[in-house]
């Protein structure tokens, strides 16, 4: 069998991205395979946040809305994120959470398709995506329809206003063909909304090339914006003039500081803003996105595939009792591998105790994420060899590993 330890050392030595790990503050001895859930802390973030707090807020006070251009940060972040997802700079804005952006864009899409009420998605989609549709359903505005991944195209009909899918599935890593499904939805007269939470910064995304209408995505996963970082939203330029969203807050007004009694939408994606932008969160996100932009999507994608292919082979060789549920073809999956095991929760806890951090997704999935900016091949090999040892020693059976924490 391949000597995976030696192979990992060889791949690390040849890795053009190896130098970027130093741009993150990761403790020695931690193999962090959960950057798909919460990205690591960029080295530059603490100082930047201290500067925003002490200088821009502490000294600049309210003047910093202008002098430090706080007011322009949502748009600035949008233009920085855009090239990572194949969008124009004026088509993306950073705001709110993914959930809130879903609400705004689902409602906007429904308003653009009068006479149609169905929002089509897949069962097992990320919970918040499905719940947000239910919220609109309870308001009498939407009707939720779910169809399995392979049946989703056939479930498109004249009632469907919006096809809403998560590009890379959070649990399995399976990736939809964005261009093909977008085209199918358009043929049926429906609009399309892609959730890029597990895509942005990890896999190739070409929203413009696919003809996508709307997208949302997450700031705290592969974009390394920090816990609860602002999310982003994309609207294709051709839809800007017709875009109407129900969270018509003052920051989405054409002239917020005119203090008019009546709402008038700001141009373009600016009208997706609702309340005052979170400047600390946006400042941290800016550092994370800037790093991704500097490394470049092409290099990130290439390394992501190498990492997951290496791990898949090593797992198959050394830990065959864990069943891989992610697609075999790296071009058909996100930057993760998911494994099914009856005791996945306990295995995950035992791994974490050994400072190999992956995560668990109910009911029985162990998920290993490969954030290519800072994960090494040695990290991946450690995950595999520690798993082998945890299984052989029976260490996973320790009672404390069966106790469930609030966040899993």
Ligand X SMILES: *Cc1c(COP(=O)(O)O)cnc(C)c1O
Stretch that binds ligand X, among 62-70, 71-79, 190-198, 365-373 (CB under 6 A): 190-198
Shortest reach from residue 164's CB to ligand X, in Å: 11
Nearer to ligand X, 195 or 346 (CB): 195
- For position 99 contacting ligand X by CB under 6 A, the verdict is yes
- For position 166 contacting ligand X by CB under 6 A, the verdict is yes
- What contacts 70, CB < 8 A, 6 or more positions away? 56, 64, 277, 279
- For position 305 contacting ligand X by CB under 6 A, the verdict is no
Nearest to 75 by CA among 212, 232, 195: 232
Pick the binder of ligand X from 34, 129, 270, 359 (CB under 6 A).
129
Stretch that binds ligand X, among 123-131, 202-210, 257-265, 383-391 (CB under 6 A): 123-131
> Is 126 labelled as part of a ligand binding site?
yes
- For position 361 contacting ligand X by CB under 6 A, the verdict is no
Nearer to ligand X, 91 or 195 (CB): 195
- For position 382 contacting ligand X by CB under 6 A, the verdict is no
Nearer to ligand X, 37 or 311 (CB): 37
Nearer to ligand X, 233 or 322 (CB): 233
- For position 128 contacting ligand X by CB under 6 A, the verdict is yes
Residue 186 neighbours by CB distance under 10 Å: 16
Sort 234 into a burial class: Cβ within 10 Å, 0-12 / 13-18 / 19+: buried
How wide is the angle at C-alpha 85 spanned by C-alphas 305 and 21, nearest 5°? Answer: 50
Stretch that binds ligand X, among 76-84, 126-134, 234-242, 340-348 (CB under 6 A): 126-134
**Whole-number Å distance between alpha carbons of 242 and 113:** 11
- For position 131 contacting ligand X by CB under 6 A, the verdict is no
- For position 17 contacting ligand X by CB under 6 A, the verdict is no
> Is 195 labelled as part of a ligand binding site?
yes
Nearer to ligand X, 116 or 198 (CB): 198
- For position 218 contacting ligand X by CB under 6 A, the verdict is yes
> Is 182 labelled as part of a ligand binding site?
no
- For position 199 contacting ligand X by CB under 6 A, the verdict is no
- For position 265 contacting ligand X by CB under 6 A, the verdict is no
3-state SS of the chain?
CCCHHHHHHHHHHCCCCHHHHHHECCCCCCEECCCCCCCCCECCHHHHHHHHHHHHHHHCHHHHHHHCCHHHHHHHHHHHHHHHHCCCHHHEEEECCHHHHHHHHHHHHHHHCCCCCEEEECCCCCHHHHHHHHHHHHCCCCEEEECCHHHCHHHCCCCEEEEEEECECCCCCEECCHHHHHHHHHHCCCEEEEECCCCCCCCCCCHHHHCCCEEEECCCCCCCCCCCCCEEEEECHHHCCCCCCCCCCHHHECCHHHCCCCCCECCHHHHHCCCCCCHHHHHHHHHHHHHHHHHCHHHHHHHHHHHHHHHHHHHHHHCCCCEECCCCCHHHECCEEEEECCCHHHHHHHHHHCCEECEEECCCEEEEECCCCCCCHHHHHHHHHHHHHHHHHCHHHCHHHHCCCCCC
> Is 129 labelled as part of a ligand binding site?
yes
Nearer to ligand X, 122 or 195 (CB): 195
Residues taking part in catalysis: 126, 195, 220-221, 367
- For position 205 contacting ligand X by CB under 6 A, the verdict is no
> Is 128 labelled as part of a ligand binding site?
yes
Pick the binder of ligand X from 104, 198, 312, 333 (CB under 6 A).
198
Shortest reach from residue 317's CB to ligand X, in Å: 30
- For position 135 contacting ligand X by CB under 6 A, the verdict is no
Shortest reach from residue 297's CB to ligand X, in Å: 19
Stretch that binds ligand X, among 194-202, 253-261, 289-297, 308-316 (CB under 6 A): 194-202
Shortest reach from residue 34's CB to ligand X, in Å: 12
**Whole-number Å distance between alpha carbons of 360 and 349:** 9
* Interacting residue ranges for ligand X, rule: CB under 6 A: 97-99, 126, 128-129, 166, 170, 195, 197-198, 218, 231
Q: Residues annotated as binding site for pyridoxal 5'-phosphate?
A: 99, 126-129, 166, 195, 198, 220, 250, 276
Q: Residues annotated as binding site?
A: 99, 126-129, 166, 195, 198, 220, 250, 276
């Amino acid at each position: 069998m391949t000597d995976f330890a030696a192979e990992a050392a060889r791949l690390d030595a040849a890795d053009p991205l190896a130098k970027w790990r130093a741009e993150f503050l990761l403790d020695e001895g931690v193999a962090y395979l959960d950057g798909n859930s919460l990205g690591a802390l960029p080295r530059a973030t603490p100082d930047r946040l201290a500067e925003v707090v002490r200088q821009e807020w502490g000294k600049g006070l309210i003047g910093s809305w202008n002098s430090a251009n706080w007011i322009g940060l949502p748009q600035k972040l949008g233009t920085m994120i855009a090239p990572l997802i194949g969008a124009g700079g004026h088509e993306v804005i950073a705001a709110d959470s993914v959930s809130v952006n879903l609400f705004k864009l689902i409602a906007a899409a429904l308003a653009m398709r009068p006479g149609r009420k169905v929002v089509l998605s897949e069962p097992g989609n990320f919970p918040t995506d499905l719940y947000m549709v239910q919220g609109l359903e309870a308001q009498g505005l939407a009707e939720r329809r779910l169809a399995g991944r392979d049946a989703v195209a056939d479930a498109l009909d004249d009632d469907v206003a919006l096809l809403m899918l998560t590009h890379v599935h959070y649990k399995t890593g399976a990736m939809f063909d964005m261009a093909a499904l977008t085209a199918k939805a358009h043929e049926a007269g429906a609009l399309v909304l892609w959730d890029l939470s597990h895509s942005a910064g990890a896999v190739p995304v070409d929203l413009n090339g696919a003809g996508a209408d709307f997208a949302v995505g997450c700031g705290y996963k592969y974009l390394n914006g920090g816990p609860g970082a602002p999310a982003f939203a994309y609207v294709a330029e051709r839809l800007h003039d017709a875009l109407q969203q129900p969270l018509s807050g003052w920051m989405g007004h054409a002239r917020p500081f005119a203090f008019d009694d009546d709402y008038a939408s700001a141009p373009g994606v600016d009208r997706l803003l609702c309340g005052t932008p979170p400047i600390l969160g946006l400042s941290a996100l800016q550092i994370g996105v800037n790093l991704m932009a500097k490394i470049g999507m092409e290099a990130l994608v290439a390394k992501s595939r190498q990492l997951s292919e290496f791990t898949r082979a090593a797992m198959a060789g050394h830990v065959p009792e864990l069943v891989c549920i992610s697609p075999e073809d790296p071009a058909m999956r996100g930057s993760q591998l998911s494994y099914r095991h009856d005791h996945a929760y306990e295995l995950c806890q035992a791994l974490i105790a050994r400072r190999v951090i992956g995560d668990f997704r109910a009911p029985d999935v162990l998920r290993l994420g490969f954030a290519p900016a800072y994960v090494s091949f040695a990290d991946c090999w450690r995950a595999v060899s520690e798993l082998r040892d945890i299984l052989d020693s029976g260490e996973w059976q320790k009672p404390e590993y069966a106790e469930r924490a609030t966040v899993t």
